Amino acid sequence: MKVLVTVKRVIDYNVKVRVKPDNSDVDLANVKMALNPFCEIAVEEAVRLKESGKVSEVVVASIGPKACQEQIRTALALGADRGIHIDTPDMPESLVVAKLLAKVVKAEAPDLVVMGKQSIDGDNNQTGQMLAALLGRPQATFASVVNLEEGKAVVTREVDGGLQTLSLMLPAIVTTDLRLNEPRYASLPNIMKAKKKPLDVTTPESLGVEMTVHTRVLSVEPPAERSGGIQVKSVDELIDKLKNEAKVI
Amino acid sequence: MSDYKHPYRDAEFVLNELVGFDQLCAVAGLDDINSELASVILTEAGKLGSDVLAPLNVEGDTRGAKLGEQGVEETFGFSAAYAQYVENGWPSLTAKEEFGGQNLPNVLGTAVNEIWHTANMSFALCPMLTQGAIESLVHHGSDALKQNYLPKLVSGEWTGTMNLTEPDAGSDLAAIKARATPEGDHYRITGQKIFITWGDHQMTENIVHLVLARLPDAPAGVKGISLFIVPKFLLDEQGNPAQLNDVSCVSLEHKLGIHGSPTCVMSFGDNGGAVGYIVGEPHQGLSYMFTMMNHARQSVGLQGVAISERSYQLAVQYAKDRLQGTRKDGSRFPIIEFPDVRRMLMQMKASIEAMRGLAYVAAAETDRVHSATDTSQAKHHQDRVDLLTPIVKGWITEVAQELTYLGVQVHGGMGFIEETGAAQHYRDARILTIYEGTTGIQALDLVGRKTLMNKGTVLSALLDEIAQVQQELAASSALQNESRALDTALTAAHEALQWLLDNAEKDASVAGSISVNFMMMMGYVCGGWVMGQSALKAQALLNAGQGDSAFLHSKLITSAFYCDHLLPRATGLLAVIKAGSQSVMSLPNDQF
């Protein structure tokens, strides 16, 4: 059984995010980049499935400029077998990402695609769902447990108010939630081995996908700076402020 | 409590811009090793350091190792962290491939070890000592000993210790009394060793002790000491730990700092003699110790960088958070805005960058010895390693005292209170000028063996190389201040060297009287060398429009601070050096 995992290069979660002076985007110049944490969970899940003997190959794919090969190598160091880099000048929008991945899925024919539920930069939470729709395959998003059985995947999802368990016919798409697993630390020998694992590069042209733009970023604003707190004199004053100023109760 | 984040940009700046990591790997024939891989390795090591080791640092301090029924019980949590460290393969980083190592350059090992020491110095001492055991076996052990012990030491499944010191044999190892009696293919070791770091613990299934002892026919003094390997558990036919050897930890020291690191009194042969195997030839033990001394001493210098970095990170965090000033409009501001607090933080930052630079540059010289293509080149680099080692150990660990002191001072009254954590770094740092040869020993080594013995030629060659950096600074209009400061310091260094060469033979007390000041002076000058190069590289990158300009500007400002505030100390030290031994030696003993 083959699993395809998708990974995205994003700003490291430890970095304090700055907005460009012209408000056009987040400033990524010389900022530490990392593997999107939800993608890391997806890689970990695939590697665990492989270690359990249910999966024979883990392929990892990423889209973006050449630098995203670093994140593919990280995934290979965590235990994936080989990488596919779809070389694009910048980061395409979710629908284009889904179309590119759909082509990769058709070529690779994985039994399961494991993706992060969203990336911590855009927080769109769309690509997995779009990919499933484009391929006409079953999907289980926000997975907290994934079990592979004969010809199907049994996935527990975190939904409002509790857990939902779905049984999906394979091939299928699963997106990971935070509690699915705790990713391992890459070991030194595996970091060294990752250099030698195969990494193929392809382009949107050779996959036959047009980089159409459907959405445009108008402006990026930093969140409002936290203003200083005040001390209230009584519980009544607190309730009054919550009701009438903050309007939260 | 304090978070630790690996300063990866500073570390990579030193590796790439000052050491020239890619070129170093290319010369060494390590084709697939480069700065990109180094960056991945440092990032992953940084995660383990921050997430797993750093949170245990306070645990080690407040709940240190204890002696129980089954031997030493290390701090709770250390064992799991050690298992993770081993599982991730970090112990094998620089070891040779034939013993399961990754054969990566020493300078990269140094950059990674900085992470472990900064995250948790008490913990990191354990693998550091194992490294010493590995070195002695690699260089001097028989094939059988190598096969039996090296793979498990390299993988970290077993740890190693160094048993040198005895109650009457500290800096003077000639006084060692432990005995080794031949018995068939092995020896029986008896005696007591003290100050044995990580001499016992429960983290691994075996511990390999390297022990200095005397054979029955041994000549007196340093030429009669042999080196033995004494495993905690003797190995069975399959090479697995089986029978408990006649060696145990009989007590633990109560210390000022590094409480997480058990400092053991080890007793060998309480029940007839511990089984030991000789390493190399009889009576060569002390010379074998010298082969790994450079590495061990540089490692302690690196600990000085690490503990200062940890202290600095904590101080910066506090200085940014602590509101103690009021503006005219009534709003409060943090203490980092007060000039004197900035002076302290800048002194910490500038010193740490100079120290880190020097530690890595010295570590890279060891790689260059191994990759040298001819003997004169190899000798040049080996001379440089030998010269820089006492400066790395002596100067860096002395400056670390001042920096961790400042780390407490920035906190004001809260620095004196243990819960902020600043005091732990100050206490932990205190051992660094003592173990692996005190500051006095390092300084004597620099003045005697490394300088007077070659008539100052090796030091002179280094000063010439520093003068080239000064010339480059002089040619850059933006770096005139740095150029002048380094020029003044170099002039003082030349004068000190000449004074030493002229006066050492006239008066036997001169070398010992001036040695520490001489070493400190050369440390500050080497720091100026590093910071001068740092400024040149940062300026060049800025001129080329490359890199992160805020980061590169901070390099320039930090270099400028070093040249303004720290490099001038060299001039002050010159006056002390030239005062010679007169006022040091003239007071009769009974007047003390």
Q: What is the pLDDT of residues A181-218, one digit of tens each?
A: 999 999 999 999 999 999 999 999 999 999 998 888 89
Query: A229 pLDDT exceeds 90?
Result: no
B144 Cβ partners below 8 Å, 6+ apart?
none
Query: B563 pLDDT exceeds 60?
Result: yes
Contact B92 A188 (CB under 8 A): yes
Residue in chain B lying closest to A67 (CA) = B36
Q: Say how far apart CA B514 and CA B499 lie, in whole Å.
A: 11
- Closest CA of chain B from A188, distance in Å: 5
Query: B299 pLDDT exceeds 50?
Result: yes
At A20, list the tokens. Answer: 């460009």
Q: Say how far apart CA B209 and CA B196 lie, in whole Å.
A: 10
* pLDDT tens track for B487-525: 999 999 999 999 999 999 999 999 999 999 999 999 999
pLDDT band at B2 (very low <50, low <70, confident <90, very high): low
Angle (nearest 5°) at CA B224 between B231 and B275: 20
Concerning whether B436 is annotated as a catalytic residue, the answer is yes
- Closest CA of chain B from A70, distance in Å: 8
Contact B44 A77 (CB under 8 A): yes
Closest CA to B88 of B107, B66, B110, B112: B112
Query: B572 pLDDT exceeds 50?
Result: yes
pLDDT band at A30 (very low <50, low <70, confident <90, very high): confident
DSSP state of B244: E
At A145, list the tokens. Answer: 């447990």
Contact list, B37 vs chain A (CB under 8 Å): 191, 195
Contact B84 A185 (CB under 8 A): yes
pLDDT at position B1 is 45
Q: Is B171 exposed, middle or buried (0-12, 13-18, 19+ CB in 10 A)?
A: exposed
- Closest CA of chain A from B485, distance in Å: 32
To test the contact with chain B by mutation, choose from A70, A191, A199 the residue with the greatest count of B C-beta atoms within 10 A, namely A191
Residues of B with CB under 8 A from a CB of A: 5, 8, 32, 36-37, 40-41, 43-44, 47-48, 51-52, 84, 87-90, 92-93, 102, 547-548, 551
Contact A30 B90 (CB under 8 A): no
| Average pLDDT rounded to a whole number, residues B92-104 | 94
Q: Say how far apart CA B88 and CA B523 lie, in whole Å.
A: 36
Residue in chain B lying closest to A73 (CA) = B40
Contact B36 A185 (CB under 8 A): no
ipTM computed for the complex: 0.90
DSSP state of A60: E
DSSP 3-state assignment of A27?
Answer: coil
Give residue B526's Cα distance to chain centre: 16
Contact list, B36 vs chain A (CB under 8 Å): 70
Contacts 24+ apart (CB under 8 A), A49-56: A49/A3, A49/A112, A49/A146, A49/A148, A50/A3, A50/A79, A51/A79, A54/A1, A54/A148, A55/A1, A55/A2, A55/A3, A55/A112, A55/A148, A56/A1, A56/A2
To test the contact with chain A by mutation, choose from B4, B41, B44 the residue with the greatest count of A C-beta atoms within 10 A, namely B44
| Average pLDDT rounded to a whole number, residues A34-49 | 97
pLDDT band at B208 (very low <50, low <70, confident <90, very high): very high
B507, B514 contact by CB (below 8 A) = no
pLDDT at position A29 is 80
Residue B462 to residues A215, B375, B465, B490: CA-CA distances in angstroms? 61, 19, 5, 11
- Closest CA of chain A from B177, distance in Å: 42
- Closest CA of chain A from B3, distance in Å: 12
Residue in chain B lying closest to A14 (CA) = B5
| Average pLDDT rounded to a whole number, residues B167-171 | 89
* Nearest residue, CB atoms, A191 vs list B8, B40, B548: B40
* Interfacial A residues in 37-96 facing B (CB < 8 Å): 70, 73-74, 77
Closest CA to B428 of B406, B402, B401: B401
Contact list, B8 vs chain A (CB under 8 Å): 32
- Closest CA of chain B from A161, distance in Å: 32
Given the residues B59, B365, B436, B482, the one annotated as active site: B436
Q: Does A230 touch chain B (CB under 8 A)?
A: no
Q: Say how far apart CA B69 and CA B89 lie, in whole Å.
A: 31
Residue A163 to residues A44, A115, A166: CA-CA distances in angstroms? 21, 19, 10
* pLDDT tens track for B130-158: 999 999 999 999 999 999 999 999 999 99
Query: A15 pLDDT exceeds 90?
Result: no
Contact list, B90 vs chain A (CB under 8 Å): 188
B528, B559 contact by CB (below 8 A) = no
pLDDT at position B74 is 98
pLDDT band at A16 (very low <50, low <70, confident <90, very high): confident
Q: Does A227 touch chain B (CB under 8 A)?
A: no
Question: Which stretch of DSSP H or E encloses residue A35?
Answer: strand A33-35
Residue A199 to residues A35, A68, A73, B41: CA-CA distances in angstroms? 17, 12, 9, 19
Give φ, ψ of A88 to 5 degrees. -130, 150
pLDDT band at A123 (very low <50, low <70, confident <90, very high): very high
pLDDT at position B438 is 96
B560, B481 contact by CB (below 8 A) = yes
* Nearest residue, CB atoms, B89 vs list A73, A74, A189: A189
* Nearest residue, CB atoms, B89 vs list A29, A32, A188: A188
B218, B179 contact by CB (below 8 A) = no
Residue in chain A lying closest to B546 (CA) = A30
Q: Which residues pair with A193 in a beta bridge?
A: none
Closest CA to A50 of A148, A144, A169: A148
Residue in chain A lying closest to B155 (CA) = A189
Contact list, B44 vs chain A (CB under 8 Å): 77, 185-186, 188, 191
**A170 dihedral zone (left: phi>0; alpha: psi -120 to 50; beta):** beta
Provide the whole-model pTM. 0.93
What percent of chain B has a predicted confidence (pLDDT) above 70? 100
To test the contact with chain A by mutation, choose from B88, B333, B553 the residue with the greatest count of A C-beta atoms within 10 A, namely B88
Q: Does A16 touch chain B (CB under 8 A)?
A: no
Closest CA to B452 of B503, B513, B415: B503
Print the SS3 string covering B63-125: CCCEEECCEEECCCCHHHHHHHHHHCCHHHCCCCHHHCCCCCCHHHHHHHHHHHHHHCHHHHH
* pLDDT tens track for B318-370: 999 999 989 999 889 999 999 999 999 999 999 999 999 999 999 999 999 99
Q: Say how far apart CA B279 and CA A220 lie, in whole Å.
A: 67
Number of A:B CB contacts under 8 A? 45
A30 Cβ partners below 8 Å, 6+ apart?
B547, B548, B551
Q: Say how far apart CA B555 and CA B557 lie, in whole Å.
A: 6
Q: Angle, to 10 degrees, between the axis of helix B510-543 and the axis of helix B439-447?
A: 90
Residue in chain B lying closest to A227 (CA) = B331
Q: Say how far apart CA A12 and CA A35 lie, in whole Å.
A: 8
Q: Does A226 touch chain B (CB under 8 A)?
A: no
Contact A188 B93 (CB under 8 A): yes
* pLDDT tens track for B473-485: 999 999 999 999 9
Residue B132 to residues B135, B137, B159, B175: CA-CA distances in angstroms? 5, 9, 10, 22
Q: Does A190 touch chain B (CB under 8 A)?
A: yes
| Average pLDDT rounded to a whole number, residues B561-577 | 98
Contact B40 A189 (CB under 8 A): no
To test the contact with chain B by mutation, choose from A78, A192, A193, A196 the residue with the greatest count of B C-beta atoms within 10 A, namely A192
Contact B551 A188 (CB under 8 A): no
* Nearest residue, CB atoms, B89 vs list A30, A187, A195: A187
Q: Say how far apart CA B518 and CA B447 lie, in whole Å.
A: 8
